[in-house]
A and B are shown apart, each in its own frame.
Chain A
Amino acid sequence: MKDECRKMKTKLPHFSSLCFIAVITFLYAPLLVLMGNSFNKSKYGGTWEGFTWQWYERLWKDDATIEALLHSLEIGACATLGATILGTLAAWCLHRYSSPLQRVHLLLTEVPLAVPDIWLGVAMQLFFVSVGWQLGFGTVIAAHITFCLCYVTAVMLGRLQSFDFQIIDAARDLGATNWQVAWRIVLPVLLPGIVASALLAFILSLDDFVITFFVSGPGASTLPSRVFAMAKTSRNLPVINALSTILTLGTFAIAILGHRLMKKA
């Protein structure tokens, strides 16, 4: 009986290991093909026609793309700042207090996560138009802060589960003011979580396409919009592969960094 049990137990891991490997292959294959094709001389990637840097060279010379990259970084930085501050505050309140106000607060920060991008994009565009806020840099940043905020809140709420509030009480007993408690005790403890959610917000802002598409205006093109625009012309098709490779590797680097910081916490 015991041997059969052991055999049964070992069968399960093998099946799940196979699944895991198959899924990882499935998840990474298209990205690897894309990255490989960015060095492929062939225009359509069907066959390997030789190694080349030419698509990257063309990318580097493409002013519009460099501009879009800078815009994406600027928008990302502003959105991250706003979302992290607001989101951390929100998570703190949601965790610390419970009242009807907080229940509404929770809904406000959770429901946006559940609605499709296109809905958010349309709603925000119509809103900006109706209040006369011109579509452009400002509206994109505002929109990005809105949805990034919700993610930051969700992550920080998770972090706060393991926060020991007795430290605050102890500090108060020792005579610390509210400000001192906030800056010298709470913030340092939460810092890894805050940084990790900031990185998450940055990635989300960098990669967003649908919402940006609806709320952007003149001169506010971002990298994903640039990819979309480039996909429309067949002149430089493989350049998209190069751009996508850079975007992907950049995202990977930031995500891994964020992960290591989360682990430290």
Chain B
Amino acid sequence: MKNPRAQSLLTAPSFLWMLVLFAWPAAHLFLMAFKPADVNGGVGEGWTLDAWRVFAEQGYWAVIWRTVWITLVTTTLCIAIALPVAWRICRATPKWQPWLMLLVVLPFWTSFLVRVYAWRVLLAASGPMASILKSLGLMSEDAMLLYNLPAVVLVMVYMELPMAVLPIYAAMEKFDPALLDAAHDLGATRWQSFFKIVLPSIKRGIIAAALLVGIPSLGMYVVPEMIGGVDGEMLGSKIGQRLFSDRNLPQAAALASALALLSMPAVLMAVRKKDEG
């Protein structure tokens, strides 16, 4: 019944497209990292491990560590905030749920740049946030809300939050509230039931949320550039610098590949779990 020729024919368009426009560029980028840098900004002949030697330098590990750290904080905050939000949506009547979900996700569909820019306006020294805080006496005249790490984390959480709510809500929707009632009847406190019953059953959703937030965070470039200060350099900015001002293509490729490699195991794990589940 299932015609093998039909399968090949139907699969071909998207398969070939992604092969040519994704798999090949990916492999190409990876291979670039093994070529010597040409002083004029291209790549020379032959193969070398020069580009990868940068990882031996101390400075890089500081940047990588900072990137990972910021990502972990952002991811944790996003999940922590997403949990009660998703819970509230689940408790609404089914008629309202899709609309509440849309309300949460809508800002995410606006242009990335617009959202970062909106925060710059909001947090600027002459902006509304600063004016309010100063008039309330909570902020001194010279203090700055921008150009520091907390601001970067704040804006990153803002950017990624809807992506955490989506999978957690999807998992929570399947959760049976009768289990909670049973737990109450047996004497469990609110927090006990939450941690021991709800969380484990939406584990898959939390993992998905962690990936959907964590991976873009690792590669974040625009936010640390526009919102961050001197202590906020992340891996994305370094890649941009290598590419644009240092004319070192192989190093940019090496760093980008390192970035991809950081995210890859987690992704493959999730894909496999989906197959099994």
> Which of A50-58, A60-68, A73-81, A98-106 participates in binding chain B?
A98-106
Contact A227 B114 (CB under 8 A): yes
Contact B102 A247 (CB under 8 A): no
Q: A16-B85, A122-B253 in contact; A142/B28 too (CB < 8 A)?
A: no
Cα of A97 to Cα of B4 in the assembled complex, Å: 9
Kindly provide the distance from the CB of B153 to the nearest chain A CB, expressed in whole angstroms. Answer: 14
Kindly provide the distance from the CB of B50 to the nearest chain A CB, expressed in whole angstroms. Answer: 18
Chain B residues positioned under 8 Å from A145 (CB to CB)? 17, 21
Contact B104 A116 (CB under 8 A): no
- Kindly identify, within residues 110 to 126 of chain B, every residue whose CB is under 8 Å from any CB belonging to chain A: 110-115, 117-119, 121-122, 124, 126
Which residue of chain A has the shortest Cβ distance to B129 in the bound complex? A33
Indicate if B26 sits at the interface (CB-CB under 8 A): yes
Contact B102 A256 (CB under 8 A): yes
Cα of A205 to Cα of B162 in the assembled complex, Å: 19
Contact B162 A27 (CB under 8 A): yes
Which residue of chain A has the shortest Cβ distance to B162 in the bound complex? A27
Chain A residues positioned under 8 Å from B211 (CB to CB)? 114
Kindly provide the distance from the CB of A217 to the nearest chain B CB, expressed in whole angstroms. Answer: 16
Cα of A37 to Cα of B129 in the assembled complex, Å: 13
Cα of A116 to Cα of B67 in the assembled complex, Å: 13
B88 CB contact (under 8 Å) in A13, A208, A224:
A13
Chain A residues positioned under 8 Å from B162 (CB to CB)? 27
The binding surface of chain A is classed by DSSP as helix
Q: A101-B11, A145-B17, A256-B102 in contact; A37/B121 too (CB < 8 A)?
A: yes
Kindly provide the distance from the CB of A27 to the nearest chain B CB, expressed in whole angstroms. Answer: 5
Indicate if A185 sits at the interface (CB-CB under 8 A): no
Indicate if A29 sits at the interface (CB-CB under 8 A): yes
Contact A252 B106 (CB under 8 A): yes
Indicate if A167 sits at the interface (CB-CB under 8 A): no
Indicate if A159 sits at the interface (CB-CB under 8 A): no
Contact B109 A108 (CB under 8 A): no
Cα of A30 to Cα of B128 in the assembled complex, Å: 10
Indicate if A163 sits at the interface (CB-CB under 8 A): no
B215 CB contact (under 8 Å) in A114, A241, A251:
A114
Contact A146 B85 (CB under 8 A): no
Q: A20-B85, A122-B29, A122-B256 in contact; A108/B18 too (CB < 8 A)?
A: yes
Q: A207-B112, A244-B117 in contact; A117/B216 too (CB < 8 A)?
A: yes
Kindly provide the distance from the CB of B38 to the nearest chain A CB, expressed in whole angstroms. Answer: 14
Indicate if B107 sits at the interface (CB-CB under 8 A): yes
B236 CB contact (under 8 Å) in A1, A13, A99, A116:
A116
Cα of A106 to Cα of B270 in the assembled complex, Å: 12
Indicate if B93 sits at the interface (CB-CB under 8 A): no
B26 CB contact (under 8 Å) in A123, A208, A259:
A123
Cα of A253 to Cα of B163 in the assembled complex, Å: 20
Kindly provide the distance from the CB of A169 to the nearest chain B CB, expressed in whole angstroms. Answer: 9
> Which of B54-62, B140-148, B219-227 participates in binding chain A?
B219-227
Indicate if B178 sits at the interface (CB-CB under 8 A): no
Cα of A127 to Cα of B26 in the assembled complex, Å: 9
Contact A33 B221 (CB under 8 A): no
Contact B121 A33 (CB under 8 A): yes
Chain A residues positioned under 8 Å from B102 (CB to CB)? 255-256, 259
Chain A residues positioned under 8 Å from B220 (CB to CB)? 116
How extensive is the interface on chain B, given as a class?
35 or more
Cα of A29 to Cα of B23 in the assembled complex, Å: 40
Cα of A228 to Cα of B184 in the assembled complex, Å: 54
B118 CB contact (under 8 Å) in A34, A92, A206:
A34
B7 CB contact (under 8 Å) in A97, A209, A228, A263:
A97
Indicate if A189 sits at the interface (CB-CB under 8 A): no
Q: A19-B81, A101-B7, A105-B14 in contact; A117/B122 too (CB < 8 A)?
A: no
Chain A residues positioned under 8 Å from B81 (CB to CB)? 19, 23
Cα of A42 to Cα of B6 in the assembled complex, Å: 63
Indicate if A174 sits at the interface (CB-CB under 8 A): no
Contact B115 A31 (CB under 8 A): yes
From A108, A110, A256, A262, residue with most partner B Cβ within 10 Å? A108
B219 CB contact (under 8 Å) in A37, A119, A251:
A119
Indicate if A69 sits at the interface (CB-CB under 8 A): no
Chain B residues positioned under 8 Å from A130 (CB to CB)? 28
Indicate if B19 sits at the interface (CB-CB under 8 A): yes
Q: A105-B15, A207-B110 in contact; A127/B185 too (CB < 8 A)?
A: no
B114 CB contact (under 8 Å) in A47, A124, A244:
A244
Interface string of B235-277 (1 = CB under 8 A from A): 0100110010000010011001001100110010001000100
> When A and B form their complex, which 9 residue pairs have the shortest distance between CB atoms, in order from nearest?
A116-B219, A90-B14, A127-B25, A19-B84, A30-B118, A46-B126, A16-B88, A123-B25, A207-B111
Measuring CB to CB, which residues of chain A are less than 8 angstroms from any residue of chain B? 1, 5, 8-9, 11-13, 15-17, 19-20, 23-24, 26-31, 33-34, 37, 44-47, 85-87, 89-90, 92-93, 96-97, 99, 101-112, 114-119, 122-124, 126-127, 130, 142-143, 145-146, 149, 153, 178, 203, 206-210, 223-224, 227-228, 231, 240-241, 244, 247-248, 251-252, 255-256, 259, 262-263
